[in-house]
Chains A and B, each alone.
Chain A
Amino acid sequence: MTAILESISREIQGKGGPARRGLAAERLAGMLVVAALAILVAGTQGLMSPYVVNLIGQVATFGMLAIALDLIWGYAGILSLGHGLYFAIGGYLIAMHLVKVAYLQTGTPPDFMLFMGWDSLPFYYAGLENFPYALALIVLISGGVAFLFGLISFRSRVSGVYFSIITQALVFVAMLLFFRNDTGFGGNNGMTGFTTLLGWPIAAPETIAALSAASVLAAAASLYVCARIVRSRLGHMLVAIREDESRLRFLGFETLWIKIAAWVISAVIAAIAGMLYVPQVGIINPRVLSPELSIEIAVWVAIGGRGTLVGAFAGAILISTLKVVLTASAPELWPFILSLLVIFVVVLLPNGLLDAPAALRGWLEWRRQRAAS
């Protein structure tokens, strides 16, 4: 057993190999732009069922999440187990926008507020019916929260598993807060009852197609931006931070700002993913803040291949599609499949499924040698 593992790991050569360059990611981004156009046409012309179009859009936002996490984990080696927080910031803000629009149309506040005995929206909903303002808030708040958290943790040089644990604790606490009913964010049941998005009825096939295409486009944009970062000297620095942060500091770099920059970019991408996700599923509740969801993002990246943008994206698409299919057909089987898959990949394929061909070669090599001796 050990012999096999050794020959496989020799073949895979995790850390020593050069960082993958992100050229493939730029090509994939181009392909996604074409795919987005195809979805827009197919969705509006009725060539594809709205269910499938909607599903593609949702999965694309998961792909964005994976890209966001891969930038900081795969390249800078900072594992966040709380990226659901930024996803939720985007999701909740867009939900507030949609609720405000619905309120202005119907004149009645959403059920969860009536239940609390409120007859108008609380003050922090002011102006949110304006979409550009909501969008700006999403970027500012997710970026601001990430900046503050990054500054505090990176400045005191919290790193490694400590950092991961603290991100997880943060998202857990946020979940507990959002479970409360008196916050004006829908509490336990979350926010739903959206009517229109930018004047379009939210359930119309055209809106679904547009949202789905927008999600795929956004995923393409995230891929492109991250690929550019990874190929630049900033990207080399991120890899250097992963490999040996204090060495980089002794080369004269303030690694604090590099890490914060990557962290904030990652958070904003996650928030935009959340913003696109919520109108497509029509609801947001505190379960997006559960630590499980955040860990799942890391699982996508680990399975697809850490440190390669294409791999992370593919991992998210593969696993979340598999989850949608399996939770519909065999819900009790899914957790078993997921956990065994994670264990298998983590133990045998340190760089994810992209290692599978190399691992296979390693195994064949081991068999050949054994046959020879």
Chain B
Amino acid sequence: MIKIKRFDRKKEPNSVTMEYPITEGLNLLALFYKLKSTLDPSLSFTGVCRSGVCGSCSVMVNGKPTLACSYTPKSGDLIEPLDYHPVKRDLIVDKTKALHTLNQAQTWIHKTNNIPRDTQNLHRIERQSNCILCSSCFASCPVMAVNSDFLGPFALTRALRYTTDSLELQPLDTLTAIQQNGVWDCTLCGECTAVCPQGIDPKMDIMNMRSKSVQNGFDDPTLANMSFGFDFTQGF
């Protein structure tokens, strides 16, 4: 049996955890579909491609963001909706705010260079452009608990992908957009990297974005806030 945390804002109580039988040989998304069509048509979830590329079926499995279509359920598993996303119903969450971070970070090419990329430049953006926007990294990020305006890992990875792209003539636009509630707010805990189903490393991307920011004249606020007990302005 697995446990699914269900939510319906119109019911009282609006959240209950229910147990469901596992079917041998089915991944978690296939199991959801089987439960919905045979046991409980009101069970609500999302899932489209069934093969790990559309990014629509991520849920929390035992507290860890996971693509349902790529996970084999085990007895005792607890399935919940993604953290840090408003829950609409059962496992369906509202991704509007998470996706809006792409607008805020302006993750696109602002002005195109007419000189094509070379292989070296391509290799620096290939992995980042494998992102499927499943929001698993967003749901794993502890910064969200203290700063809900934080841009989050996938927007920052995408920011790196575009500011590194040799096609982009105006990388400063994106760099400027990610200074506030962006690169400097990350704690570098690496949770995002651990949960990415595409093997992307947002933590490393964020560290690279920090270097890039400093190289482009932005201040590192983490240094300004650092105090070693000396006041350098007074001299010794």
Indicate, yes or no, whether A interacts with B.
no
Q: Residues of A at under 8 Å CB distance from B?
A: none
